Amino acid sequence: MKSPVESTFKSLKKDILICLKLTIIFGIFFTIINQQFTLKGAGLVFLISAMYSFTLGLGNGMINDYLNTKWDWVEETNQRVWAGVISTIVYTVIAVLAIHYVQYIILFGNDPSVFFTRNLVFAHLLGIIISLGIAAFFHAKGFMMNWKASVKQETTQHEIVAKTETAKFETLKSQIDPHFLFNSLNVLTSLIGENPSLAEKFTTKLSKIYRYVLEQRNKELIPLEEELKFARTYMELLQMRFEDAVKFNIPVEVSNSDLKIVPLSLQLLLENAVKHNVVSSTKPLEINIFEEDGFLQIQNNINPKETIGKSTKVGLRNIADRYGLITNRNVEITNNNKTFTVSLPLLTKTNNMSFNTDNLENSKYVKAVERVEKLKEFYQNLVAYCMVIPFLIFINLKFSPQFHWFWFPIFGWGIGLVFHYLETNNYNLFLGKNWEEKKIKQMMEEDNKKGYN
């Protein structure tokens, strides 16, 4: 994991490269427009372009990075936006005036008294708007990166929740396997007539198995001792069904009473062993369960059934996914064509990963996603405004300076931008902030009261 200093240096390096690209782009553009094809003229244009790009671009980039440490784009959107707007405007105005002083007074050799004349005021305005466009780019870039990270995090969390629920469903489906239950009932039917005493034991063990399934299926972890005890009961049931065709060795004691395991994982593995291998007196299925190097090893000999077809590995993926949700330790699978071994990590604690599985599509999450989408559209609109308007001003002043028509798109588009911002923040110009939500809540409360009366 990178240190804060390394991350800051990497971010600064990226910002410098962006400023260098902007210097080259604007330098080439204004060199062609102003027809400064001499070495001195082109050098002056590139110098001014570098002052704009590095002073404004890099400065606003550093301000942007600092503000990101104070306010989160997604969680504290309003504070972050206003802090960005105020700091960017203040810094940009001061920086543009400083650059123009160097440019027009020092480099061009003009008298300081002309600094606020009409022509230079328009130059100041044009420079400020262009600079705000660059600043908007940096802020929009920061917003998009944080937004993507936030969405990715939310998506990952919801994928984890979905996997948890899917794993629970697959596990329960495997435990309450109709095929297993059908075969068990067939065995019970035959035992009732042949050996009523054994049938009674079989029924008792079968009821214990399903009671255990119902009790443990929603737990995250259970003590290893309990799971081994359940596995022994389950194997005894299978032994009643297959007699000497099944042999097993399960430890009676564990090395540490604090060790835990994912519930019902042993049943699924034992059932898979029976499902995928020949179980007969001539080719008995041998299952050994033992501890080794912090893992619980479940090992069986391999006598594959010819008619079973290719394994889908759903059961193994189920167990691996469930472990993946609570620990960084992986389930290990080994197949040497003689024995098949699954190693389950023995745990004493889990990662701090608890997610509320209720109301996954709750209104707060949906509203947050919708608001982020609106905010993204607003910033795209803002960047377009800050990039297009300066060129309209330039074209107007260059080719028809007598009539300043650029004010129309500035105010027309600007008003639209203001309303877009108000809409993004759920603010009605006449009715106030979050008026729709408040009104909906009020009407719902009124309906609830009517329903109770």
Supply the pLDDT for residue 266: 87
Supply the pLDDT for residue 123: 80
For tokens 């067939």, the residue is 186
In a domain? residue 166: no
For residue range 97-108, list pLDDT tens digits in order. Answer: 998 899 888 888
Q: Are residues 239 and 332 in the same domain?
A: yes
Cβ-count burial 3-17 (b if 16+ within 10 Å, e if not): eeeeeeeebeeebee
Triad 428, 432, 438: Cα angle to 5°: 100
Over the chain, what is the mean pLDDT?
Answer: 76
- Which range has the worst mean pLDDT, 20-24, 89-93, 171-175, 287-291? 171-175
Supply the pLDDT for residue 330: 86
| Range from 6-10, 204-208, 214-218, 365-369 that averages highest in pLDDT | 204-208
In a domain? residue 237: yes
In a domain? residue 216: yes
Last residue of a domain, one of 326, 345, 364: 345
Say which residues have a Cβ less than 8 Å from residue 249's Cβ, sequence separation at least 6: 287, 288, 289, 290
Supply the pLDDT for residue 58: 82
For tokens 């708007």, the residue is 129
Supply the pLDDT for residue 318: 73
For residue range 368-402, list pLDDT tens digits in order. Answer: 555 666 777 787 778 778 878 887 787 777 777 77
How far apart, in whole angstroms, are the C-alpha atoms of residue 56 and residue 75?
27
For residue range 300-338, list pLDDT tens digits in order. Answer: 999 888 765 555 566 677 788 778 777 888 888 888 889
Work out the pLDDT band at 357, boundaries 50, 70, 90: very low
Q: Are residues 194 and 55 in the same domain?
A: no
Q: Are residues 138 and 225 in the same domain?
A: no
How far apart, in whole angstroms, are the C-alpha atoms of residue 439 and residue 189?
66
Supply the pLDDT for residue 435: 60
pTM of the full predicted structure? 0.42
Q: Are residues 124 and 184 in the same domain?
A: no
CB 65 within 8 A of CB 11: yes
Range of 315's domain? Answer: 176-345
- Give the residue with greater pLDDT, 127 vs 171: 127
The amino acid present at 283, given as its one-letter code, is: K
Strand partners, 428: 432
Q: Are residues 221 and 330 in the same domain?
A: yes
CB 216 within 8 A of CB 222: yes
Q: Are residues 144 and 253 in the same domain?
A: no
